[in-house]
Amino acid sequence: MANSFDVIILGGGPAGYVAAVRSAQLGMSTALIEKDKLGGVCVNIGCIPTKALLHSAYIASLLREAKEFGVEAGAVKTDYGVAMQRSRKVSDQNSKGVEFLMKKNKVTVVKGAGVLQPGRKVKVGNDVYEAKKAVLIATGSRVKGLPQIGLEINKTTVISSDEALFLEQAPASMAIIGAGAVGMEFANIFHAFGTKVTLIEALPRILPLEDAEASDALAKSYKKRGIEVIAGAKVKKGTVGKDKVTLEVEANGATQKIEVATVLMAAGRAVNTENIGLAECGVQLTDRGFIKVDQNLQTTAPGYYGIGDVAGPPMLAHKGMREGVTVTEIIAGKKPHAIRYDNVPSVTYCHPEVASIGLTEDQCKERKLDYVAGRFPFSANGRARGTGETEGFVKILRDKKYGEILGAHIVGGQASEIIHELTVARENEYTVEEVELAIHAHPTMSEAVAQAALDSLGRVVDM
Partner 1 sequence: MATNVYMEALSPTMEEGRVVKWLKRDGDAVKTGETLAEVETDKAVMDLVARAEGVLRQVAAAEGQTVAVGSVVAVIAAPGEAITAAAASAPKPTPAPVSGSGERGAVPSAATPADATRVKASPLARRIAKEAGVDLKLVTGTGPGGRVTKRDLEARAVVAQPAPQREVPLPAPRSPVVTRGGEPYQDVPLTQIRKTIAKRLATSLGPIPHFFLTTEVDMERASEARDALNKQLGDQGGKVSFNDIIIKATAHALTKHPACNAWFQEDHIRYWNEVHIGMAVAVEDGLITPVIRNAELKSLADIGREAKELADRARSRRLQPNEYTGATFSVSNLGMFDIDQFTAVINPPEAGIIAVGSIVQKPVVVDGQPAVRRRMRITMSCDHRVIDGATGAAFLRTLKQMLENPLAMLL
Q: Measured between alpha carbons, how far is 354 from 419 in angstroms, rounded to an integer?
A: 9
Closest distance between partner 1 and the C-beta of residue 247, in Å? 35
Binding span for partner 1 by CB under 8 A among 93-101, 145-153, 180-188, 400-408: 400-408
Is residue 404 a contact point for partner 1 (CB under 8 A)? Answer: yes
Judged by CB under 8 A, the residue of 126, 401, 439, 458 near partner 1 is 401
Judged by CB under 8 A, the residue of 142, 433, 438, 463 near partner 1 is 433
Q: Measured between alpha carbons, how far is 38 from 244 in angstroms, rounded to an integer?
A: 35
Is residue 402 a contact point for partner 1 (CB under 8 A)? Answer: yes
Q: Measured between alpha carbons, how far is 392 from 87 in angstroms, rounded to an integer?
A: 28
Closest distance between partner 1 and the C-beta of residue 310, in Å? 23
Site for partner 1 in 212-231 (CB under 8 A): none
Q: Measured between alpha carbons, how far is 289 from 381 in angstroms, rounded to an integer?
A: 45
Handedness of CA 46, 49, 53, 56 (dihedral sign): positive
Site for partner 1 in 434-453 (CB under 8 A): 434
First-to-last C-alpha distance (Å) of the chain? 69
Closest distance between partner 1 and the C-beta of residue 208, in Å? 17
Binding span for partner 1 by CB under 8 A among 144-152, 289-297, 300-308, 431-439: 431-439
- DSSP string of 81-97, one letter each residue: HHHHHHHHHHHHHHHHH
Largest CA distance in the chain: 69
Judged by CB under 8 A, the residue of 343, 416, 431, 444 near partner 1 is 431
Which of 230/432 has CB closer to partner 1?
A: 432
Is residue 288 a contact point for partner 1 (CB under 8 A)? Answer: no
The angle formed by the CA atoms of residues 210, 414 and 199, to the nearest 5 degrees, is: 45
Binding span for partner 1 by CB under 8 A among 22-30, 39-47, 309-317, 398-406: 398-406
Which of 108/431 has CB closer to partner 1?
A: 431
Whether the bond between 314 and the residue before it is cis, its omega within 30 degrees of 0, is: yes
Closest distance between partner 1 and the C-beta of residue 338, in Å? 8
Whether the bond between 49 and the residue before it is cis, its omega within 30 degrees of 0, is: no
70: CB partners within 8 A, 6+ apart? none
Closest distance between partner 1 and the C-beta of residue 404, in Å? 5
Q: What distance lies between CA 256 and its chain's CA centroid? A: 31
Whether 442 is catalytic is yes
Of the residues 191, 420, 440, 442, only one is catalytic, namely 442
Whether the bond between 313 and the residue before it is cis, its omega within 30 degrees of 0, is: no
Sheet arrangement for strand 245-251 = 234-240, 245-251, 254-260
Which of 342/462 has CB closer to partner 1?
A: 342
Please tell me whether residue 2 adopts helix, strand or coil conformation: coil
Q: Are 91 and 104 in contact (CB under 8 A)?
A: no
Binding span for partner 1 by CB under 8 A among 147-155, 160-168, 215-223, 430-438: 430-438
Which of 77/337 has CB closer to partner 1?
A: 337
Is residue 343 a contact point for partner 1 (CB under 8 A)? Answer: no
Which of 100/341 has CB closer to partner 1?
A: 341
Q: Are 259 and 245 in contact (CB under 8 A)?
A: yes
Which of 79/342 has CB closer to partner 1?
A: 342
- How many amino acids of this chain bind partner 1 (CB under 8 A)? 15
Q: Are 90 and 52 in contact (CB under 8 A)?
A: yes
Identity of the amino acid at 14: P
Judged by CB under 8 A, the residue of 103, 106, 224, 337 near partner 1 is 337
Is residue 117 a contact point for partner 1 (CB under 8 A)? Answer: no
Judged by CB under 8 A, the residue of 140, 306, 403, 413 near partner 1 is 403
Which of 17/371 has CB closer to partner 1?
A: 371
Q: Measured between alpha carbons, how far is 213 from 315 in angstroms, rounded to an integer?
A: 23
Closest distance between partner 1 and the C-beta of residue 367, in Å? 5
If we measure between CA atoms, which residue out of 260, 214, 222, 193 comes closest to residue 408? 214
The bridge status of strand 234-240 relative to strand 245-251 is antiparallel
Is residue 17 a contact point for partner 1 (CB under 8 A)? Answer: no
Each residue 361-390 as x (binds partner 1 by CB under 8 A) or -, in order, gives ------xxx---------------------
Q: Give the number of C-alpha atoms closer than 13 A to the C-alpha of residue 391, restricted to the C-beta side.
A: 22
Which of 65/429 has CB closer to partner 1?
A: 429
Closest distance between partner 1 and the C-beta of residue 140, in Å? 27
Each residue 409-428 as x (binds partner 1 by CB under 8 A) or -, in order, gives -------------------x
- DSSP string of 180-201, one letter each residue: SHHHHHHHHHHHHTT-EEEEE-
The angle formed by the CA atoms of residues 87, 90 and 93, to the nearest 5 degrees, is: 150
Give the binding site for partner 1 (CB under 8 A): 337-338, 367-369, 401-404, 428-431, 433-434
- Which residues form the catalytic set? 442
